[in-house]
Amino acid sequence: MKEQAPLSDKELNEIFDLTTGYTSGTLSQGELARLDELIRTSPVARERIAVALHDHGCIYDAFLGDSSSNEESDLLKFEAEPAPAASGFNWSRLTAVAALLMLCALVVQLFTNRENETPTFATLSQTDAASWGASSLSTVAGTRLGEGSLSLSEGLASIYFDSGVRLDLEGPAEILLHHKMSASLVSGTITAEVEPSGRGFELLTPSAKVIDHGTRFAVRVDPETAIAETKVFDGHVELKPIDDREEESVQLLTGQGAVSTSESLGSAGTTSFEDEWQTFDSDASQMPADLSINTGAGAGTDAFISTAQGESSGVGSLLYMKNGVNGSHRKSYLSFDLATVDTREIESCTLVLNFVNTRRGLVSHLPDSEFQVYGIKSSRLDEWSADQLRWDNAPANPVESDGGLIDTDQATLLGSFTMKRGKVDGKIEFTSPSLTSFLNNDKNQLASLIILRKTKELQTSGYVHGMASHRHPYLPGPTLVIDLK
């Protein structure tokens, strides 16, 4: 049998108006005829009408109400051939009763089926750039969820519990849903925002039980060590042993965090989700096959600058970018040796960047992120050293600026690109006429570029974007792919 299409919003509104009018006795003859037509011709509409009539208690009223009423609207009527007058039998009344009996049967069937369904207590309210692994629950946005598992490979997914708890899951992560007041984070990162009705919500981890007392907090679990890190952004969270074997507990207030292991709940203190703690994914991108120049070739190099304490310069396998709200910023610098290229003959050029999931900070604290690419104008400023590059001496970097500002007297904007919310890794290929023109006008065969994230995080502890440097163990660093005339 061909499945009937779901009702449109217009049709649902019409059914609502008709059933409301029927229960109040205000339908006209034409509206009664329309209601009768929907019951006879549309199984989907008939089911919706049956539920509405049940909700209003109108079936009870139709059978046990005042039968002496002569109004046409006291019962639904189906047109039928009248019997001979001598019989004195009310065929119209019988037909109406038969229609109501059919509705009764439908209602009983509907509510019996509902009782047999798996109870749900949450909704997968939103997904962003999400891809999924093996999950026992539906991964379609808008789906109602019951007890089961969700495995998010990448991207973001928001789960809203009927109790008033919202969990934002950041891939890769795995979570088990138990009931409206409990879930288990097996691995990965979540942020939680709890309404007053959700106080007492429990998030279980391999190392600790996180009990909310009205707050906004984040938890991440290392899939290899099962270490759990908790940070409170606002309110109060309690940590308890996962098996309740002791009366021990740790109280965390606004701004505090703790790192829990199988041996200890940890202690209240400061913690930063920007700390790196996991190895990188292993799906390496291949070096472009066209004429290309890497930052590791010749006199080229790369580095990042940072305002973060203990991270004044960056010479490592990753180049970071961040525009924070609390003074935590990062920008990346790239230098390309163009000695092997006649820059006057460049027809087009593409900058290839390999972003990786740094697992530093919370992806859910960012919207879509715009990145900007700048070229340093002066040949004199091209001669910076990766080992000596600092926030206070980097070319074109205003010392008092945030992560999204550049001194435009010393650098020119070449264009921008955007990474969608929830997308943290993959290859970015940036090209623009301004980039080609910038390289063609090079005077010293050394071109310096600056990459920054223009978009500021929405809240503290936002995600730190990162891309492979030329020192990365398996991913190619920043690369110029050049087409000559």
Q: Report how far residue 115's alpha carbon sits from residue 127's, in angstroms, rounded to the nearest whole number.
A: 29
Burial annotation 434-446 (CB, 10 A radius, 16+ → b, else e) = ebbebbeebeebb
Query: Does residue 355 sit in the same domain as residue 388?
Result: yes
pLDDT at 107: 56
**Final residue belonging to a domain, choices 116, 136, 164:** 116
Which residues, 6 or more positions from 162, have their beta carbon under 8 angstroms from its beta carbon?
A: 121, 122, 180
Q: Report how far residue 197's alpha carbon sits from residue 469's, in angstroms, rounded to the nearest whole number.
A: 47
CATH number of residue 211's parent domain: 2.60.120.1440
Contact 270, 255 (CB under 8 A): yes
Query: Does residue 233 sit in the same domain as residue 381?
Result: no
Query: Does residue 59 sit in the same domain as residue 101?
Result: yes
Which residue type sits at 301? Answer: T
Query: Does residue 15 sit in the same domain as residue 65?
Result: yes
pLDDT bucket at 58, cuts 50 / 70 / 90 = very low
Query: Does residue 86 sit in the same domain as residue 129?
Result: no
pLDDT bucket at 242, cuts 50 / 70 / 90 = confident
Query: Does residue 346 sit in the same domain as residue 440?
Result: yes
pLDDT at 437: 94
In 3D space, the residue among 435, 40, 482, 144 whose CA is nearest the CA of residue 289 turns out to be: 482
pLDDT at 474: 83
Residue 99 lies in a domain: yes
Query: Does residue 319 sit in the same domain as residue 430?
Result: yes
pLDDT bucket at 79, cuts 50 / 70 / 90 = very low
**Final residue belonging to a domain, choices 260, 281, 304:** 260
Residue 66 has pLDDT above 60, yes or no: no
pLDDT bucket at 341, cuts 50 / 70 / 90 = confident
Domains of the chain: total: 3
What global pTM score does this model have? 0.61
DSSP-derived letter for residue 329 is E
Residue 272 has pLDDT above 80, yes or no: no
Residue 135 lies in a domain: yes
CATH number of residue 463's parent domain: 2.60.120.230
Bin 203: left if φ > 0, else alpha if -120 < ψ < 50, else beta. beta
Query: Does residue 303 sit in the same domain as residue 447?
Result: yes
pLDDT at 71: 40
Across residues 65-69, what is the average pLDDT? 42
Across residues 144-157, what is the average pLDDT? 93
Show the DSSP H helices in 42-171 as ranges: 43-56, 58-64, 91-116
Contact 35, 49 (CB under 8 A): yes
Residue 269 lies in a domain: no
Q: Report how far residue 235's alpha carbon sits from residue 244's, in angstroms, rounded to the nearest whole number.
A: 23
**Final residue belonging to a domain, choices 96, 116, 136:** 116
pLDDT at 77: 40
Query: Does residue 81 sit in the same domain as residue 160?
Result: no
Which residues, 6 or more positions from 404, have their beta carbon under 8 angstroms from its beta carbon?
A: 323, 372, 452, 453, 454, 455, 456
Q: Which segment, 14-28, 235-249, 330-344, is predicted with the most confidence on average?
A: 330-344
Question: What are phi and psi for residue 255, nearest 5 degrees?
Answer: 85, -10
Could you tell me the sign of the dihedral formed by the alpha carbons of 271, 277, 283, 284, in that order?
positive
pLDDT 10s digits, 176-224 = 999 999 999 999 999 999 999 999 999 999 999 999 998 899 999 988 8
Tokens coding 261: 């292991």
Query: Does residue 79 sit in the same domain as residue 99?
Result: yes
Residue 410 lies in a domain: yes
pLDDT at 46: 82
Q: Which domain holds residue 385?
A: 292-484
First-residue to last-residue Cα distance in the chain: 63
**259 sits in which H/E element:** strand 257-260
Using CA atoms, how far residue 280 sits from 380, 382, 462, in Å, is: 36, 31, 19
Residue 270 lies in a domain: no
pLDDT 10s digits, 277-320 = 433 333 333 433 358 899 999 999 999 999 876 665 678 899 99
Residue 286 lies in a domain: no
For residue 197, how far is the Cα from the chain centroid? Answer: 23
CB atoms within 10 A of CB 114: 10
- Which range among 116-120, 190-194, 270-274, 363-367 shows the weakest confidence by mean pLDDT? 270-274
Placement of tokens 């969990």 in the chain: 167
Placement of tokens 């969700």 in the chain: 150
Residue 275 lies in a domain: no
Residue 273 has pLDDT above 70, yes or no: no
Residue 460 has pLDDT above 70, yes or no: yes
- What average pLDDT is seen over the chain? 82
In 3D space, the residue among 246, 184, 180 whose CA is nearest the CA of residue 209 turns out to be: 184
In 3D space, the residue among 299, 408, 423, 306 whose CA is nearest the CA of residue 357 turns out to be: 423
pLDDT 10s digits, 370-395 = 999 999 999 999 989 999 999 989 99
Contact 233, 267 (CB under 8 A): no
Q: Report how far residue 198's alpha carbon sits from residue 212's, in angstroms, rounded to the nearest whole number.
A: 8
Q: Is the peptide bond before 172 cis (omega within 30 degrees of 0)?
A: yes
Across residues 320-332, what is the average pLDDT? 91
- Which range among 99-103, 317-321, 403-407, 478-482 shows the weakest confidence by mean pLDDT? 99-103
Tokens coding 7: 């009702």
Query: Does residue 335 sit in the same domain as residue 208?
Result: no
Across residues 128-138, what is the average pLDDT? 91
DSSP state string for 39-57:
HHH-HHHHHHHHHHHHHHT
Residue 78 lies in a domain: yes
Report the SS3 class of residue 72. Answer: helix
Query: Does residue 234 sit in the same domain as residue 345?
Result: no
